[in-house]
Amino acid sequence: MRRRQHMWKAFSFLSCCVQCNEFKLYAPDAMSVPKGLCVAIPCYFKYPESHRNFSGPLYGYWYEKGRNPNRDPALATNDGNKPLVPDARVRFYLSDKLEEGNCSLFVTDVQQSDQKDYFFRMQKGHGYNYFPSTSVRVTETPKPEIQILGKLQAGQPVSLTCTVASCPWKSPQISWEFTRRISGTLSSLSDGTKLSNVVPNFVPLAADNGQFLTCKVTYGSGSASLVISEKRIHLNVSCE
């Protein structure tokens, strides 16, 4: 299955180049991503022409720092004979453009337990090379942003928008909580980094003055990976 090669990114990119006997790797030293979202660890490598002549396919492997590649399962690889960490099978993916030197690692539904150091290993025939690790820091899930277009006046329609950080691989679930039912339509930025729930004709009532309006976003699925964030605002409705 072909994986999408662009994902929501939120990290400080510190490019580094490691060179040893013509082996080169370009990857961030460290990066951060909010819990519940997705991350792409950009990675590009080159290896000596002498290795290109080795028989056998080109393999790439991602491991947690401290793991032994000779006996431990990988987080992500294109080697169908290599065992994978059970949980990683559905959340960690290696770029499908390895032959082009793209060794990027994609992680979905980022969890607090993903805050670790990771390293990449390439193998061609009987030749292989290890590269320094990248440190991943997991941050708090961002809160939704609520915007009201128009003055809150009883009986006069206004537009409500709740915007949240998104992930191209897994859209978050957005819902409104109020004293009465509110529903809107979803819209997304072209790069998939933001998703909005828009209510174009919300009509405030005099009784809504002083009430709270909440936008809630849910990332992931299942009790183990479920992440919920919300924003609540106080309504000030005019009766003029």
Digit-coded pLDDT (tens) for 120-145: 998 887 767 778 889 999 999 999 99
Q: Which of 139, 170, 204 is the last residue before a domain boundary?
A: 139
Residue found under tokens 């819209």: 187
| Structural domain contains residue 178 | yes
* Average pLDDT value for residue range 205-218: 95
Q: How far is CA 64 from CA 11, 113, 118, 124, 224, in A?
A: 19, 12, 4, 21, 21
Which pLDDT value is given to residue 13? 33
In CATH, what number is assigned to the domain containing residue 57?
2.60.40.10
Which domain, by its residues, includes 212? 145-234
- Burial of 47: CB neighbours in 10 Å, binned 0-12, 13-18, 19+: buried
On whether the CB atoms of residues 28 and 118 are closer than 8 A, the answer is no
Q: Which of 110, 139, 168 is the last residue before a domain boundary?
A: 139
Residues 25 and 131 in one domain: yes
Residues 59 and 109 in one domain: yes
Residues 28 and 127 in one domain: yes
Please tell me the total count of domains within the chain.
2
Share of the chain above pLDDT 70, in %: 87
| SS3 state of residue 130 | strand
Higher pLDDT, 131 or 152: 152
Q: What is the mean pLDDT of the chain?
A: 85
Model confidence, pTM: 0.76
Q: Which of 120, 139, 158 is the last residue before a domain boundary?
A: 139
Which pLDDT value is given to residue 201? 93
Residues 174 and 122 in one domain: no
Residues 96 and 160 in one domain: no
| Structural domain contains residue 102 | yes
pLDDT per residue as tens digits for the range 73-117? 999 999 999 999 998 888 999 999 999 999 999 998 898 999 999
| Structural domain contains residue 81 | yes
**Rounded Cα–Cα distance for residues 101 and 145 (Å):** 38
Which pLDDT value is given to residue 214? 97
Give, in degrees to the nearest 5, the angle at Cα 19 between 18 and 23: 110
